[in-house]
Amino acid sequence: MGRQTSFTYSLLPEQQKILSDILRQGNYRPIPIRHAVTAAESDGCAIAIYKTGKCLVQGRNAADFATFVLEPLVLRRAELGYDDVLHPELSQPHIGVDESGKGDYFGPLVVAGAYVDGSLVPVMREMDVKDSKRISSDRKALTLGRELRKLLGKRYAIVKIGPRAYNRLYARMRNVNNILGWAHARAIENLLEAVPDCPRAISDQFGNERLVRDALMKRGRRILLEQRHRAESNLAVAAASIIARETFLAALREMQDACGVSLPKGASAAVREAAVELAKKRGPAVLIQTVKCHFKTTDEVLKELKSDRSVLGPDGQAVSRPSREWRPQ
């Protein structure tokens, strides 16, 4: 795999001025580029700054310009070259784990694991892999998730916990972090079947590290487990977050098609209204198959329906059956 030859950055006004000054000096030659405010080239590299603040660097020496000029003099932070030099472990084999759906009332909780090594790092950078929360649209998350799964082949794992199973687990564990710890451990264990020699796994810090470590089995207990704040800045964790989000969005769309009611993401007032509409259409017991019942939204929905939690069952199981048209996930 060759070096990356194209980079895109968003520059603040003061950063644009610094870079423009740099391009007017030294061995840079002005070049005409349509819609560019400032554009110049040097040996094997073309740099353009646009009115939007977007900066595009292209050419066989683009990585060198990004590493030795743009990052230290303009961005004042290490993203590409210095991270590779000062933190070589970023390109060494490791697993990243992240989840999606934890804060969404409708749909499953999804935990995904993704493997990264030195051969995959430049490809993922070219794909602009980043934390799924920074991806602007569901369509892009779905597309990028599919592309990542194709790239990784067997080197990813998905643990999808549908609402019925989630509610059963919550009734037993009584804590979301306990469920997350179990699911993170399962994702690591499953992925180690494809990459058994992987020495390290990284995830976001959502609770005591023992929640994951204690849930690991024989294979997983040999791995070095790291939990850190803002772990999504790691490329493997970012890839896992995208795959998890893609899986969640696809499952939510499938559930929406099956029940015939629009199911919004999150836990807003619109979500509560959708749950009320669905429960009126299918009966309150349908909630056990579509939502995370421990959310306070459930009590609000049942109150509006003049019902109570007894319709959901004491252990998270539906006491009464929903209508025949409904096909549970």
Annotate 227-258 with DSSP letters as a single string: EETTGGGSHHHHHHHHHHHHHHHHHHHHHHHH
Annotate 53-105 with DSSP letters as a single string: SEEEEESTTHHHHIIIIIIIIII-S-SSHHHHHH-GGGGSSEEEEEEE-TT-S
Q: Please state, in angstroms and as integers, the Cα–Cα distance from residue 113 to each residue in 185, 193, 226, 315, following that order.
A: 10, 12, 14, 29
Q: Model-level pTM greater than 0.75? A: no
Bridge partners (DSSP) of residue 159 are: 111
pLDDT for residue 115 = 97
Q: In whole angstroms, give the CA distance from residue 259 to residue 157.
A: 28
Q: Provide the percentage of residues in the chain whose pLDDT is more than 70.
A: 88
- pLDDT band at residue 79 using 50, 70 and 90 as cut-offs: low
Whether 6-86 shares its CATH topology with 90-253 is answered no
Q: What average pLDDT does range 41-46 have in this prediction? A: 92
pLDDT for residue 314 = 56
pLDDT for residue 324 = 37
The residue written with tokens 């961005």 in the block is: 75
Output the six-digit token pair for 324. Answer: 């025949």
- pLDDT band at residue 80 using 50, 70 and 90 as cut-offs: low
**CATH architecture assigned to 90-253:** 2-Layer Sandwich (3.30)
Bridge partners (DSSP) of residue 87 are: none
pLDDT for residue 84 = 52
Q: In whole angstroms, give the CA distance from residue 259 to residue 310.
A: 22
pLDDT for residue 328 = 39
On the question of pLDDT at 3 being above 80, the answer is no
- pLDDT band at residue 216 using 50, 70 and 90 as cut-offs: confident
- Give the H or E element holding residue 100: strand 94-100
On the question of pLDDT at 305 being above 60, the answer is yes
Q: What is the pLDDT of residues 106-141, one digit of tens each?
A: 999 999 999 999 888 888 888 888 767 778 789 999
CA 145 from chain centre, in angstroms, equals 9
CATH 3.30.310.10 assigned to 6-86: yes
Spell out the residues 6+ positions from residue 85 whose beta carbon is closer than 8 angstroms to its own: none
Q: What average pLDDT does range 243-260 have in this prediction? A: 96
pLDDT for residue 91 = 73
Q: Which residue has the higher pLDDT, 268 or 131?
A: 268
Q: What is the pLDDT of residues 145-200, one digit of tens each?
A: 999 999 999 999 999 999 999 999 998 888 899 999 999 999 999 999 999 999 99
Averaged pLDDT of the chain? 86
Q: What average pLDDT does range 258-278 have in this prediction? A: 95
Domain residue spans in the chain? 6-86, 90-253, 259-312
The residue written with tokens 């849930």 in the block is: 215
pLDDT for residue 163 = 95
Q: In whole angstroms, give the CA distance from residue 249 to residue 291.
A: 14
Output the six-digit token pair for 196. Answer: 């058994």
pLDDT for residue 326 = 39
Output the six-digit token pair for 270. Answer: 């619109």
Q: What average pLDDT does range 5-16 have in this prediction? A: 88
pLDDT for residue 89 = 61
Output the six-digit token pair for 95. Answer: 């697993």
Residue 214: CB atoms within 10 Å: 12
